[in-house]
Structure 1
Amino acid sequence: MLTAASQVLLRSEELLEQGKWLLVNPTDGQVFSELANPDVHGFHQFFDIYEQSVAVTKGQGRDSQHQFAAAYEADASFDGAVLYLPKAKAHGQMLLANIAPCLKPGATLLVVGENKGGIKSAAKLLTPYSDNVNKVDSARHCAMFAAVIDKPVAPFDITKWQDVSEYQVSDITFKVCSLPGVFSHGDLDTGTQLLLDNIDRVVSGRILDFACGAGIIGCFAGLKNAQAQVVMSDVSALAIYCSQKSAELNGVKAQVIPSNGLRALTGKFAQVFTNPPFHTGIKTDYSVTESFMQQLKNHLQDRGSLILVANKFLRYADELEKQFKSVQFLKETSKFSVYCCRR
């Protein structure tokens, strides 16, 4: 289904009729089937939309035109690009810094997004790259801006956007690499710290950090028990990149897997830890966590356990009790609840 942002883009489809174009983090895969130009490529940082987009274009022999990565490999050959504006301003700035070197001089750069998502700031975001920025459309609670690349562009180096911070929880000190667009960038959020404070034991078997973000939980668990077989998964390419870097910084051996929910994960786990998401972009979305809770028992070993932290206003207890034989509160504060669930 086309999102509102894609609908607005298609209202100006004539802008994309000629040349080689790149769609950056499109919010749906269907837009690729709606565009008549066969030379439209996709740069995806979200695995679910990447999979959708590949499926849409595979029948047309164009599945190789999609790339799932934290950063797009520099290829200064695009005549234009469309950035779907992300939630975090710094994430948008990083994406523009990444994409601008991939465009020919004089190329067109479009930015589209929802009014509630900060699209009104797009003109300011584009000024480092262009003196010619215009609002070209406004509809469906969205807007789209266009710029012509007419300023010098510096090569992109993702490491310049990285933050590496050191934290101590209990008696364990660890380092975390994060990037704009990753949950709790540059910070150890209160919920995750509460979860870490309540991990008494990490088993020596296979463990999973689900929706791993920057890899905080997985690295902590790997340091707490070096015999643990750490697996981390996330839908975000930025999270995958950061988790890999965090594991390297801490000397933790970990398998880091891009996955839409649990779909790409095989085998079973002795322990699962998570501070699961409840937003998709700017919208509240419980579906990822609800699906995770419903499917997880098929991925847990006998007597396997789940330790989950969530905002207290998220009433997950009822769903957890439907899915698990034993559900107990490990810790409650005024803002968070930590659950321990067993098969």
Structure 2
Amino acid sequence: MVPQSEVVIRQEAFLDGRVLFVNAPTDDLLSNLASNINASVWTWNFNDFQYFQARQATVHFGVELPQGAFDQAIVFVPKSKELLNYILHNLASRLSLGASIFLVGEKKGGVERASKQLLPYGKTLKLDSARHCQMWQTVLEKNTTAKALEDWAQRYTVPTPQGDLNICALPGVFSQNRLDVGTAVFLPYLSKVSSGKIADFGCGAGVISAYLAKLNPKNRIFAMDVDAFALASTKMTFEENSLVPEQLEIKAVSGIEDAPLFLHAIVSNPPFHQGIQTDYNASENLCKTARRHLKSDGELWIVANRFLNYPVLIEQSFGQCITKADQQGFKVLFASTQKKS
């Protein structure tokens, strides 16, 4: 078990009844809980959802709090301060007064700072500090009224040759407040992407998906992400720009292996963070295996940090990798399945 889970086990005497585990780690915590604890899990990470499903846990995947009544909740601190605000607000709208909300996290993950976000809801007490982790408790003294999901989105505008794009980004989604440098470098090249059936792998707030839809109303976009908040953001971005909903298919994925087959193109500003950790597996796997999901004249377009070894991985799969741009620390990479004459 990870240290956070070990700290929870040390303090499980505080737990009883229907307990919601929010953003729980994928380990053996649930199977080590006492029999008086009826555990449910809420996650927005599709990989984590599949992990708990495979172990027959009661698990909910999505951006909304799961249905049902809960006596207590344990929140494992997410990376995003805004996302924690969203979680705590929604828990305070559902739990009864006097219920406990516990917060668990690593010191290096900012649990001490995060504990201050509990203060608006009741008296806060540090229960434990061990294994470089802390566990805090708040007894709920006031309820909140749940806000509509749209009210949590940050909005900003991205100018394009096709007109402005209005972006909606929910808490915790990559580049929530402004366009990231990588996507800004990538955008001018999206007009060169082969039209048709296109997958946007790691869609985030939907900037790339929305622009591809705007470029050609005949494009069919598969917006794919592991994060339910990213998928919901992309859907909101499409609605905000009055794009045809039939152009978009939202798809929760573990990796590129879940993409449709016979695609005209795969485009990606690939993710390489899993919570607080850096994880290149999904993006490296994209470079190695994207070819299997493309038509015989299909295209792969990626923007990535200059220092990453993606060109080598793409060349091994496609036979060649063309650098279309090298700007501001990012490269735009292109490969095609087309046979060379």
TM range (shorter): over 0.9
The reply to whether residue 196 of structure 1 matches residue 196 of structure 2 is no
Unaligned runs of 5+ in 2: none
Q: Distance in 1 between matches of 2:209 and 2:263?
A: 13
Return 233-242 or 322-331, whichever deviates more: 322-331
> RMSD over aligned Cα, in angstroms?
1.7
2:157 is matched with which residue: 160, 163, 166? Answer: 166
2:49 corresponds to:
50
Structure-1-length-normalised TM-score: 0.92
1:299 corresponds to:
293
Deviations 1:292-311 (A, max 9, x none): 22221111111211110111
Structure-2-length-normalised TM-score: 0.93
1:271 corresponds to:
265
- Does the Cα contact within 8 Å between 1:50 and 1:66 map onto a contact in 2? yes
The 5 Å alignment of 1:1-343 reads 2-16=1-15, 18-28=16-26, 30-37=28-35, 39-56=38-55, 58=56, 63=57, 65-73=58-66, 75=68, 77-130=69-122, 132-250=123-241, 251-252=243-244, 253-343=247-337
Three-state SS of the structure 2 residue aligned to 1:39 is: strand
Q: Distance in 2 between matches of 1:159 and 1:199?
A: 28
Q: Which amino acid letter does the alignment assign opposite residue 32 of structure 2?
A: E
- Does the Cα contact within 8 Å between 1:332 and 1:338 map onto a contact in 2? yes
Q: Distance in 2 between matches of 1:278 and 1:53?
A: 22
Q: Distance in 1 between matches of 2:3 and 2:299?
A: 40
Q: Distance in 2 between matches of 1:104 and 1:196?
A: 48
Shift of 1:342: 1.7
Shift of 1:36: 3.1
Q: Distance in 2 between matches of 1:259 and 1:180?
A: 19
Q: Which amino acid letter does the alignment assign opposite residue 224 of structure 2?
A: S
- Does the Cα contact within 8 Å between 1:29 and 1:50 map onto a contact in 2? no
Shift of 1:74: 5.9
- Does the Cα contact within 8 Å between 1:29 and 1:53 map onto a contact in 2? no
The structure 1 segments of at least 4 consecutive aligned residues displaced by more than 6 Å after TM superposition are: none
Deviations 1:245-301 (A, max 9, x none): 112222142001011112433322111111111211112111121122222111111
Q: Distance in 1 between matches of 2:327 and 2:261?
A: 34
- Does the Cα contact within 8 Å between 2:194 and 2:264 map onto a contact in 1? yes
Q: Distance in 2 between matches of 1:178 and 1:331?
A: 27
- Does the Cα contact within 8 Å between 2:81 and 2:114 map onto a contact in 1? no
* Count of residue pairs brought into register by the alignment: 333
Q: Which amino acid letter does the alignment assign opposite residue 68 of structure 1?
A: F
Q: Distance in 1 between matches of 2:7 and 2:318?
A: 44
Shift of 1:170: 2.7
Q: Distance in 1 between matches of 2:260 and 2:320?
A: 24
Return 205-214 or 3-12, whichever deviates more: 3-12
Q: Distance in 2 between matches of 1:51 and 1:182?
A: 20
Q: Which amino acid letter does the alignment assign opposite residue 44 of structure 1?
A: T
Three-state SS of the structure 1 residue aligned to 2:285 is: helix
Q: Which amino acid letter does the alignment assign opposite residue 42 of structure 2?
A: F
